[in-house]
Amino acid sequence: MYRRLTPLIAIALAISLAPAASAHQPVVLLDTDTTPSAGPLLVDGTISFAIRASFTKSGQKKAFRAALKEGDIFSVQYLIVDKKPESGLKNSLLPQLVITSPTGKKITVVMKERTPFFESFTRTTYLYLSRVSQPAEAGIYSFVITSRARAAITVAVGDREVQGEVVRGAVQAPTPTVKPTPAATQEPAKASPTPEVTTQSAYTMAKVKENNSAASCWSVISGNVYNLTQWINQHPGGPSAIASLCGVDGTASFNAQHRGEGKPTQRLSDYLLGALVK
């Protein structure tokens, strides 16, 4: 009896001591993120982010940036969810990803694999299409994604599983103030204050209410803001189940629809914009 229990105890200990599964921090690119300067900035490009870009037709662009330091590793993966339409498209019809380094070097990501990867946090199977890993240049990397058909992709950046900061809009360094030579009764000029940076998490209820249609559907669920536009026609319960959440706090309705399910908001991770600012 003792000999039978020993292997079971060892297995149980191994499972209990294993590190908890973690996932890349999701960032959804908006339709207005058409250039790197307009798109979000990953303040530390070594932290793991999952950038979600969805397109409805050919010729659309979405973009973002990532900051790295000398000595960092520049790590990027191009992935698609293992389901149609993406999994059924030829590589030539999937969105093109072009990366520009701080010194102006361009990397056109070449898709050369379709390796399955099961992401346990959201229980989703992805396909790796390309992976890049190399020493980083110091500065800002720009990423531009151009669609060639209706499709959605995920660009994974970084590999450190810690909470990272995302900034939207132009980030300007403070302009130094030139001090005039003071006269006997003149006080030195004061330096200009550092410009305030608006982070991606600054989503208000007023902004949510503006996006209240199937064309642009934002909803608040459990204190977070989600862009559910792409999910409306994909929801297994039909479009009406999502349309009722557009432009409102849909927490009660969402919880009622998914009563009894464990952590139902995990399925929304690809659509997360940020926390609601009250």
All structural domains of the chain, each given as residue ranges with its CATH number in brackets, are: 25-167 (2.60.120.380), 203-277 (3.10.120.10)
Task: Kindly give, in sequence order, each residue whose CB lies less than 8 Å from that of residue 113, ignoring residues fewer than 6 positions away.
Answer: 128, 129, 130, 131
pTM of the model: 0.58
Q: Residue 83 — very low, low, confident or very high, per pLDDT cuts 50/70/90?
A: very high
What's the pLDDT score for residue 171? Answer: 54
What's the pLDDT score for residue 216? Answer: 82
What's the pLDDT score for residue 119? Answer: 82
Angle, vertex CA 58, rays to CA 117 and CA 77, nearest 5: 25
**Mean pLDDT, residues 80-84 taken together:** 95
What's the pLDDT score for residue 76? Answer: 98
If one compares 154 and 252, the residue with the highest pLDDT of the two is: 154
**Mean pLDDT, residues 161-176 taken together:** 70
- Lookup result for tokens 């590589």: 91
What's the pLDDT score for residue 186? Answer: 55
CB 266 within 8 A of CB 26: no
Beta bridge partners of 68: 139
If one compares 19 and 257, the residue with the highest pLDDT of the two is: 257
Q: What is the pLDDT of residues 177-227, one digit of tens each?
A: 444 555 555 555 555 444 444 344 468 888 888 888 877 888 888 888 888
d(CA 155, CA 7): 41
Per-residue pLDDT for 41 more than 70? yes
Per-residue pLDDT for 18 more than 60? no
Mean pLDDT score of the chain, rounded to an integer? 80
pLDDT above 70 covers what percent of the chain? 73
* Selection from 249, 228, 224, 223 nearest residue 240 by Cα: 228
State the amino acid at position 19 in one-letter form. P
What's the pLDDT score for residue 262? Answer: 66
